[in-house]
Every structure is written in structure tokens, then in C-alpha cells.
Amino acid sequence: MPSGQFCANAAWLVCAVIAFNLTRAAATLTDDPKLIRATSGTIGDALITVPARIASSARRLTLHLPTGWQWEKPWMTLFGRAFGRNQPSLA
């Protein structure tokens, strides 16, 4: 940005605003006061850049989170609220 074309710049701006709003909404769903008031970079480091391993077995995906990870509880709260009863298995 800027590209010199108004439509291209408008499209990039819309994408940036959508990403910002989704990040803030995800932080709000965690109910963690630190994340609700955090910057977008902190939210990205805590919730989006997850140090996990995905494993596949018997046509099911399993997400292996690290033990003792400081953002595990807020991330699991967000995951539960996003998927509800249709959750993949976590280990």
C-alpha cells in the first residue's frame, strides 16, 4: 500500500480491518483480561501463533498443545466457544 489504484488500496484496507476485528473478537471470547486489553501483536502471539502439533489418526485430527503453555486456558476457552459441541479431539 499504496499501489496507485484506489480499488486495490480499498481492498487491502478492507482486508486489514476484517483481520483486526477478527483478532479483537477472538481476544474477547477468551475472557482473559490481559488479552482483552492487549494489542493486536500480543493477541497474535498468544492465540494465532500456537506452538502445537497436529496429528492425524483414524481420520481424526488431534491437536497436541505444549505442557505448561501460559496461554492454554484462554486458547481452550476460545476453541470451545468457536467450535461448541463439534470439537476435534485435543491431547
Question: What is the per-residue pLDDT across 25-62, written as a single tens digit (0 to 9) for each?
Answer: 999 999 999 999 999 899 999 888 988 888 888 877 78
Q: Supply the DSSP symbol for 58.
A: T
Average pLDDT over residues 65-82: 87
CB 17 within 8 A of CB 24: no
With a CB cutoff of 8 Å and minimum separation 6, the contacts of 20 are 40
- The reply to whether 1 falls in a domain is no
CB 43 within 8 A of CB 71: no
Domain span at residue 29 reads 6-90
pLDDT, the chain, mean:
86
Write down the pLDDT at residue 86.
Answer: 61
In whole angstroms, what is the distance from residue 18 CA to residue 8 CA? 16
Q: What's the length of the chain?
A: 91
- The reply to whether 45 falls in a domain is yes
Q: How many domains does the chain have?
A: 1
Q: What is the spatial order of strands in the sheet that 89-90 belongs to?
A: 53-57, 60-64, 89-90
Write down the pLDDT at residue 67.
Answer: 87
Average pLDDT over residues 75-88: 77
